[in-house]
Amino acid sequence: MGVKLAETAGFCMGVKRAVDIVLDIACHKGGKTVYTYGPLIHNPQTVQLLKERGIVPLESIDQIEDGIIVIRAHGVSPLERERIREKGVEIVDATCPKVASVQAIIKKHAALGYTIIIVGDKEHPEVASLLGYSSGRGIVINDKKDVAPLQQHDKICVVAQTTQDSAAYKEIAREITRKFPGAMVFDTICNSTEMRQAEIKKMAATMDGIIIVGGKDSANTRRLAAISQDCGTRTVHIETAEELNGTDLSGFKNIGVSAGASTPNWITEGVIDYLTHNQRETVPWKLRGLYNLWIFLLRTDISSAIGAGFLSLASMFLQGLGVSVSNILIAALCVFAIHTINRLQERSFGRIQGSFREGSYLQHRGSYMTAAITSLVLASVLSFLEGPVTFILVGFISLSGVLYNATVWGKRLEDVPGSKNIFTALGWAVVTAVIPQVSVSLEITCSMVVAFLFVFVLVFSKSVLSDTIDIQSDRLIGRETIPVIMGEGRARILLKGVSILAGIMLIAAIPAGCVPSMSLGLALLVPVFYIWICMELCDRKVRFSRMELEGLLGINYMIAGLSACLWFIATKI
C-alpha cells in the first residue's frame, strides 16, 4: 500500500494564528482565566488539550464573569462583540484576517443599501458572524434551489463563507446573477480552502481510497470528504487513527490522506504511522523481517540504546582509547533506561499524543518499567566495576534523567525552556564521551572535549529536529523546546550554525593533535554532514511518516560509529 499525504493537510493560516495567539496568552495570563468564545477549533482532541492548559471554551457570553476572552478565527458579530465588551472582560481578537475582510465587504455594502446574500451553512459560527455585519440586510442560502424563492432587490452583494466548495459557489453565484443581473459577486472563498479542495480532487482521481482526518463537526473537513466521495473514490472520514481499527483497507493499493483546516498535524501523523505500519505487508518478504525489526527497535527505544553504543564507540576512537565493551554497554543501558522512564512518566501525564510509540508503551507498561530498572541496575554494576568516578557519574546522570519530569520542591527541570534538548545532549555526551575517558584517567584531555562536543552536536541536532516535527503538539501541551521558543526557522539556522562549528572543530582538532589522525577527523565529518540531510528529510516537502523520520534521524549515531569503525579497519589493513 502506498500512502500519500496531501501537501495542504492540516492547520490553515487562520487556525494556526488563532491557536498561537491563545497559547501565547496562556503563557502570560497571570492568574486570569482564558476563555474562547466557542471551541477554538473543530477538533475535540485539541480542545481537550487546551482545557488541560486552562483555556476554557464558552458556549454563551453569559457564562463569562472575568478574565480574558479570545474571539476565534470565525469572528463574532458586532452585537456579540458589544455584549462581551459590556461584561468588562479583556478581549483578544483572533478573527482570521480573511474572515475579517469578508466582514468588511458586508459592512461596507450593507451601509450602501445592498442586500447581502451569504452562501454558507446557516448554523456555522463564521456565517453567524458575517450575518451580524449585514445590519439586518443579510440572507443566508446554501443551495442553487434557494435562489428562485428570493424576492427582488435593487442592489445585491454576494459573498461566500470562506470554506465553501468553490465549484458549488460558482454555480450558485451564476444562478443569482441570472436572476439579479446587477448583483456584485465577491470571491471570498479562502485560497487555503480552494487549494485543499483542488488537491483532494486530484488525489481522489489517482488513488484507490482517501482518508480524511478531522472533526466530524468540522464543516470544511466534511466538505473535503464529500468532494472526494463525489469523485467516486472510496472515502473514509475519521477523527483519529484508532477509528481505522477494523476498517478493511485491503483493497487499497494507493491511499491518499488529507486533513481539515483544524486538524493538528500529530493526529494526521498518527494516521500516517498506522497506515505505514500496515503497509509492511507490501514490503518484499526478504526485507520484511528487517523492516519489522527496525520498527520494533524504534518503538521500544532499543534503537536509542544502540545509537548510544555507536556514539560511545566513536568517542573512544576519537579519544584514542581502547575499545571498552563495558563502557559501550553503560552508555546503551543508561540511555535506554532514562528514555524509557521519561516516556512512561510522560504517558502518566497523558503527554504522548498520537506518538507512534504510544500503543506499545500503553500495552506493555510493566515490561518497559522492568526493562528500564534492570538496565539501570546493570549500568550501575558495570560502572561500579569501572571505578568510583564512573559510578558517581552514572549515578548522577541516571538520577537527573529519571527526575527530569518529576516535581521537586514545586519545580520541574522539564519546565526550564529548552532544557529537553540541552539536557538530552549533555546526558548523552557524558555517558558516551566522558565515561570512557574517566574510566582510564581523570585527566581532562582536549580529545575528550572534542568527543564531548561532537556527541553533543549530533544528539542536540537530532533532538531539535525531532521537536521541529512535534512543534504543534509541544506548543499545545506547553513544552518549551528550542523550536517552540525560537520558531522553526531560527531553530534550523541554529542547527546549521552548530553543525558548521562542529565541522570546523573537527578540522581544527587535526593539527592541534586532539584527534588521533587526520583520516578519522575527516571520517567523522560524515555524520556532521548528515545533519544537513536530516534537515532536508524533515522538510514538509519530503514525505515520510513520523516513525520513519525518527528512524532516519537516529541512523546518524550509527553513521558516526561505523565511520569510526571503518577508519579503524582501514588503518589495520
Of 109, 110, 117, 106, nearest in space to 142 by CA:
117
Give yes or no for residue 192 binding ligand SF4 (CB under 6 A).
Answer: yes
Of the ranges 189-197, 324-332, 401-409, 539-547, which one interacts with ligand SF4 (CB under 6 A)? Answer: 189-197
Give yes or no for residue 12 binding ligand SF4 (CB under 6 A).
Answer: yes
Give yes or no for residue 15 binding ligand SF4 (CB under 6 A).
Answer: yes
Within 13 A of 103's CA, how many CA atoms are on the CB side? 20
Between CA 368 and CA 362 the distance in angstroms is 10
Three-state DSSP class for residue 256 = strand
Q: Which three cell numbers stand for residue 201?
A: 480532487
Between CA 295 and CA 30 the distance in angstroms is 44
Shortest Å, Cβ 484 to ligand SF4: 22
| 3-state SS record for 537-558 | HCCCCCCCCHHHHHHHHHHHHH
Give yes or no for residue 163 binding ligand SF4 (CB under 6 A).
Answer: yes
Phi-psi region of 381 (alpha: psi -120 to 50; beta: other; left: phi over 0): alpha
Among 8, 142, 193, 439, binds ligand SF4 (CB under 6 A): 193
Give yes or no for residue 218 binding ligand SF4 (CB under 6 A).
Answer: no
Shortest Å, Cβ 468 to ligand SF4: 23
Shortest Å, Cβ 122 to ligand SF4: 17
Between CA 344 and CA 308 the distance in angstroms is 20
237 versus 420: smaller Cβ distance to ligand SF4? 237
Of 141, 96, 91, 93, nearest in space to 116 by CA:
141
Binding mask 55-84 for ligand SF4 (x = CB under 6 A): ------------------x-----------
Q: Which three cell numbers stand for residue 61?
A: 457570553
Three-state DSSP class for residue 340 = helix
Strand bridging mode 209-213 / 184-185: unpaired
> Among the options 7, 52, 123, 126, which is catalytic?
126
DSSP 319: T
Three-state DSSP class for residue 153 = coil
Of the ranges 186-194, 273-281, 346-354, 534-542, which one interacts with ligand SF4 (CB under 6 A)? Answer: 186-194
Shortest Å, Cβ 95 to ligand SF4: 9
∠ CA 550-552-557, nearest 5°, is 100
Are 239 and 213 in contact by the 8 Å Cβ rule? The answer is yes
Shortest Å, Cβ 442 to ligand SF4: 60
Between CA 421 and CA 418 the distance in angstroms is 6
Are 512 and 446 in contact by the 8 Å Cβ rule? The answer is yes
Are 157 and 115 in contact by the 8 Å Cβ rule? The answer is yes
Three-state DSSP class for residue 487 = coil
263 versus 461: smaller Cβ distance to ligand SF4? 263
Among 4, 13, 80, 507, binds ligand SF4 (CB under 6 A): 13
Give catalytic status of residue 194 as yes or no: no
Beta pairing partners, 375: none
Shortest Å, Cβ 90 to ligand SF4: 23
Residue nearest to ligand SF4 according to CB distances in the complex: 14
15 versus 305: smaller Cβ distance to ligand SF4? 15
Shortest Å, Cβ 18 to ligand SF4: 8
Of 74, 103, 355, nearest in space to 218 by CA:
74
Give yes or no for residue 14 binding ligand SF4 (CB under 6 A).
Answer: yes
13 versus 403: smaller Cβ distance to ligand SF4? 13
Interaction with ligand SF4 in 317-356: which residues (CB under 6 A)? none
Shortest Å, Cβ 214 to ligand SF4: 12
43 versus 375: smaller Cβ distance to ligand SF4? 43
98 versus 339: smaller Cβ distance to ligand SF4? 98
∠ CA 89-93-98, nearest 5°, is 160
164 versus 461: smaller Cβ distance to ligand SF4? 164
- Helices 525-537 and 446-469, packing angle to 10 deg: 10
13 versus 422: smaller Cβ distance to ligand SF4? 13
Between CA 407 and CA 413 the distance in angstroms is 8
14 versus 270: smaller Cβ distance to ligand SF4? 14
Among 26, 105, 172, 190, binds ligand SF4 (CB under 6 A): 190
191 versus 374: smaller Cβ distance to ligand SF4? 191
Are 116 and 106 in contact by the 8 Å Cβ rule? The answer is yes
Binding mask 491-530 for ligand SF4 (x = CB under 6 A): ----------------------------------------
DSSP 239: S
Give yes or no for residue 261 binding ligand SF4 (CB under 6 A).
Answer: yes
Shortest Å, Cβ 13 to ligand SF4: 4
Shortest Å, Cβ 160 to ligand SF4: 11
Q: Which three cell numbers stand for residue 365?
A: 507498561
Interaction with ligand SF4 in 92-151: which residues (CB under 6 A)? 96, 98-99
Residues that bind ligand SF4 (CB under 6 A): 12-15, 73, 96, 98-99, 162-163, 190, 192-193, 261
What residues are labeled active site?
Answer: 126
